Amino acid sequence: MVTLALGSLGGGFATGDLTVLTDHEIFRRARRIRRPRRYRQALSTASAGSLTPGDYVVHLEHGIGVYRGIETITVARGATIEVAVLEYEGGDRLNVPLYRLDQVEQYRTAVDDGDGAPPRLNRLGGKRWRRQRARTEAAIQRMAAELLELYARRSLTGGYAYPPDTRWQRELESSFLYEDTPDQRTAAEEAKRDMELPRPMDRLMVGDVGYGKTEVAVRAAFKAVQASKQVAVLAPTTILAEQHGRTFGDRLADYPVNIEVLSRFRTTAEQRVVTRRLREGTVDVVIGTHRLLSPDVTFRDLGLLVVDEEHRFGVRHKERLKALRLEVDVLTLTATPIPRTLHLALAGLRDLTMIQTPPRDRSPVLTFIEPWDDELLVEAMARELDRGGQVFFVHNRIETIYTVAERVRRMAPRAHLAVAHGKMRERDLDGVMRQFVAGGVDVLVSTMIVESGLDVPNANTMIVHNAQQFGLAQLYQLRGRVGRGHRRAYCYLVVPDAVDPGAEERLKVLEHHTELGSGYRIALRDLELRGAGNLLGKEQSGHAHAVGFDLYMRWLNDAVRALKGEGVLTEHPPADVTLDGPAHLPDVYVPDEDAKLDFYRRLACAGQLGEIAALREELRDRFGPLPDEADRLLVASELRALGARLGLQSIVVRGDDARLRFRADAAPRLLRLTAALDEVQFAADVRQTVPLALRLRRLGGMAMGAGLVRALSAAASDA
């Protein structure tokens, strides 16, 4: 009798002469069966810049001041609101209602290398801030125009429109041995959608180390190859180029795709053959270092350029990349985008894709800043080796690397240790790396050459010697070499007893941001530390230092939107709204001040009723039913937004009575407004015709605030 059963196997089995292996056992990839779960998103970046008393802030109208905290004040007839207290030169204080927190930005700029002098405060009503604001806005206008001209040339250039996905494309994507994360799936769809448009793609993909950016690049490359286009994958290091070569080769092995690697690991004769085949068009995908940008490397029909970690290339190479952007589709991958690249993306001048959902079973890397301690390092390496793992030991000075390696050998005498650095013979270096990847080396003492590309899931302890000498992006990339599997990973940043303030700041940032998906926040922090400055020049400082990075970015975004013809949605500023009773978030309802400030800022930026409704639902979901004070706050926000659309200057509500005053330049449709008020049982009397002022009385129906929202919303729908 034959029995047919459907199910899933946790592993292979043997019976008689028959042995059955799963695909994960054949490819030696661990598969852990888990119940379906929701992906945990990385922490929001919206509240990364929370305010604490004593922080420097910038008010759009009054300039640089000091934030002193939140206070509750009474405005009229018992109505209370919460305000942010700002202190200016001479001790003058300004109370900013938290519902207008969009007028305030945190002052952040480059770290001062000297005495760390604080910024000079402005005087309330003074002229110095107005002059500085005018100079900065004029400079931003000029810069934005130049940037738009540069990127408009790319947008206007006709590109190749790729056909929709084929059956092979779907087969390749379904053969991925791991489950796509939601962000990874979205990133792949956005890249392919860009390729199908008749203009060159220029997309920046930001994702933490090991979050699946390479797989997205493989899928985009395969789409290009199926359209008979060539693909170039540009990597900053030879090690990363070799790693990409193995990854692309494994993923595309079942398809007629010719893949070559062009790096210093290849002999001159081998490189000559590859360049000839590229000209002839017999190579579909070429993966290499900056060697690909050499004048002797030409393509028969290049369609897609994938750039991994663009900030690692020099100015001359970037000029070549800039020229290619006008001709072919470009997909840039990065874990920590440099300030200039990130700034362009945030300013809307490049398409930006974020990959923030971590792969399953990924754990944050525990990071420690410690002085050199033999006992600590012995214990760290022994713990990793005892669980069958491997260790990275990074020492970035070739002159002393063998001395340090000998010291490490004495601390781990039973481990198989190897040394790797950039001045080794190509064959020797390649051999060491292959041994480490295969598990034949327990401890790898190396320079920064392992910063990018080396994928060793079994190596989950990293020790970085003299970590204070590395940049923030370098340290983050190094730490990304560990923690790529399901094991807990550790990173030890070994520093001397005395560290300069700038290095200490970088190390603290890395120690603080250990949670999954922190690469984007580290890039933002790197942007704060180094300053934004003039994007078209070599310097990384400028007007952003005078007004603060956040305000500089805000004005740049406004300038770009204006030049693109994307004006402000409302014709008038928000209306002044006074309700009968307190309108704020009580401390007993939202006890955390950072969460409160974040919510107020988002509410201040919400100009549509749908956005305010979403914030109402979020409050209810996070903190429970809304108290009366919070409900009034949201009603007031809705009335401000509606007042801006209708041209209202002020709205005052007192019990069952309300006063509406329109702006002098508004043109209200009185018949439509009167009909809307009648529907909610409000009687309207005209108290003044120019500018129009109305008195409303509630005859019945819903409460005054809710009724006004409903009536003004109906009037605004036809406005």
Most distant CA atoms of the chain, gap in Å: 98
Answer whether residue 111 shows pLDDT above 60.
no
CB burial readout 135-168, b (16+ within 10 A) else e? ebeebbbebbeebbeebeebeeeebbebeebeee
Give the pLDDT of residue 167: 93
Is 261 in contact with 241 (CB distance < 8 Å)? yes
DSSP letter string over 50-103?
Answer: ---TT-EEEETTTEEEEEEEEEEEEEETTEEEEEEEEE-GGG-EEEEEGGGGGG
State the pLDDT confidence band at 40, using cuts at 50, 70 and 90. very low
How much is the pLDDT for 361?
Answer: 63
Average pLDDT over residues 226-249: 89
pLDDT band at 94 (very low <50, low <70, confident <90, very high): very high
Sheet holding 443-446, edge to edge: 365-370, 489-494, 459-465, 390-394, 443-446, 417-420
pLDDT at 4: 73
The pLDDT of residue 332 is above 70: yes
Confidence of residue 98 (pLDDT cuts 50, 70, 90): confident
Specify the pLDDT at position 684.
Answer: 87
Indicate if the pLDDT at residue 703 is higher than 50. Answer: yes
Contact between 110 and 126 (Cβ < 8 Å):
no
The whole-angstrom separation of Cα 566 and Cα 558 is 9
344 has a pLDDT exceeding 70: no
- Name the helix (H) or strand (E) containing 715: helix 704-717
Task: Give residue 592's pLDDT.
Answer: 83
pLDDT in the model for residue 251: 92
Separation CA 352–CA 187 (nearest Å)? 9
Between helix 426-438 and helix 238-251 the angle, nearest 10°, is: 50
**pLDDT tier for residue 43 given thresholds of 50, 70 and 90:** very low
Q: Which stretch of 52-61, 309-318, 562-571, 684-693 has the lowest confidence by average pLDDT?
A: 562-571
Q: What is the pLDDT of residues 147-164, one digit of tens each?
A: 667 667 766 777 789 999
- Residue 472 CA to residue 513 CA, distance in Å, equals 11
The amino acid sitting at 373 is D
- Residue 604 has what pLDDT? 84
- Can you tell me the distance from the alpha carbon of 603 to that of 615, in angstroms, rounded to the nearest whole number? 7
Question: Closest by alpha carbon to 524, among 308, 313, 338?
Answer: 338
Do 70 and 596 touch, CB atoms closer than 8 A? yes
The set of residues, in sequence order, having a beta carbon less than 8 Å from that of 221 and lying 6+ positions away, is: 231, 233, 248, 285, 304, 306
The answer on pLDDT for 114 being more than 80 is: no
492 — pLDDT class (breaks 50, 70, 90): very high
Region for 477 from its dihedrals, namely left if φ exceeds 0, alpha if ψ lies in -120 to 50, beta otherwise? alpha
Q: What pLDDT was estimated at residue 115? A: 38
Average of per-residue pLDDT across 227-238: 90
The pLDDT of residue 364: 75
Which is nearest to 285 in space by CA: 194, 235, 200, 224?
224
- pLDDT of 182: 87
pLDDT at 32 exceeding the cut of 60? no
Bridge partners of 149, per DSSP, are none
CA–CA distance from 240 to each of 164, 218, 288, 483 (Å)?
30, 15, 9, 18
| pLDDT score at 289 | 86
3-state percent helix, strand, coil for the chain, nearest multiple of 5: 40, 20, 40
- The closest alpha carbon to 166, from 195, 209, 140, belongs to 195
- Angle at which helix 472-479 crosses helix 519-530, to 10 degrees, equals 160
pLDDT given for residue 290 in this prediction = 83
Over residues 245-272, mean pLDDT: 89
Round the average pLDDT of the chain to a whole number and report it. Answer: 80
How many CA within 13 A on the CB side of residue 638?
Answer: 24
pLDDT at 654: 87
145 phi, psi to nearest 5 deg: -65, -40
Q: Which residue has the higher pLDDT, 199 or 284?
A: 284
What is the pLDDT averaged over residues 417-437?
Answer: 86
- Please state, in angstroms and rounded to a whole number, the distance separating the CA atoms of residues 711 and 696: 12
pLDDT at 25: 64
More confident residue, 493 or 535: 493
CB 64 within 8 A of CB 128: no
Q: What is the pLDDT of residue 39?
A: 32
pLDDT band of 334, cuts 50, 70, 90: confident
Residue 64's nearest CA partner among 9, 17, 133, 165 is: 133
Res. 698 pLDDT band, cuts 50 70 90: confident
Residue 566 is predicted with a pLDDT of: 61
- Provide the sign of the torsion angle of the four alpha carbons 323, 324, 329, 332, taken in this order: negative
Amino acid identity at 472: L
Residue of higher predicted confidence among 79 and 600: 600
Mean pLDDT of 669-688: 87
Instruction: Calculate helix-pair angle for 593-605, 609-623, nearest 10 degrees.
Output: 160
Domains and CATH numbers, the chain: 167-355 (3.40.50.300), 365-515 (3.40.50.300), 576-717 (3.90.1150.50)
Strands in 150-299 per DSSP E: 202-207, 230-234, 259-262, 285-288
pLDDT digits (tens, 9 = 90+) for 525-566: 665 555 444 333 433 345 666 676 667 667 777 776 676 666
* SS3 category, 522: helix
Q: Which ranges in 513-656 belong to alpha helices (H)? A: 519-530, 543-547, 549-563, 593-605, 609-623, 628-646
Q: Are 479 and 492 in contact (CB under 8 A)?
A: no
Helices (H), 446-500: 472-479
Alpha helix ranges (H) inside 157-200: 167-174, 182-195
- Range 310-325 average pLDDT: 64
CA angle, residues 237, 284, 228, in degrees to nearest 5: 140
What's the pLDDT score for residue 488?
A: 85
Supply 201's token pair.
Answer: 């793609």
pTM of the full predicted structure? 0.59
Q: Which two tokens stand for residue 182?
A: 């939601």
Contacts 24+ apart (CB under 8 A), 456-459: 456/390, 456/481, 456/484, 457/484, 457/485, 458/388, 458/389, 458/390, 458/485, 459/389, 459/390, 459/391, 459/392
Q: Which two tokens stand for residue 604?
A: 């201040």
> What is the C-alpha to C-alpha distance for residues 484 and 450, in angstroms, rounded to an integer?
14
Radius of gyration of the chain from Cα atoms? 30
Higher pLDDT, 652 or 322: 652
- CA-to-CA distance for 340 and 347, rounded, in angstroms? 11
d(CA 372, CA 57): 39
Say if CB 73 and CB 130 are below 8 A apart.
Answer: no
Q: What percent of the chain has pLDDT over 90?
A: 25
Angstrom distance (rounded) from CA 206 to CA 337: 7
Instruction: From 549, 558, 552, 546, select the one nearest 128 (Cα to Cα).
Output: 546
The answer to whether residue 44 scores a pLDDT higher than 70 is no
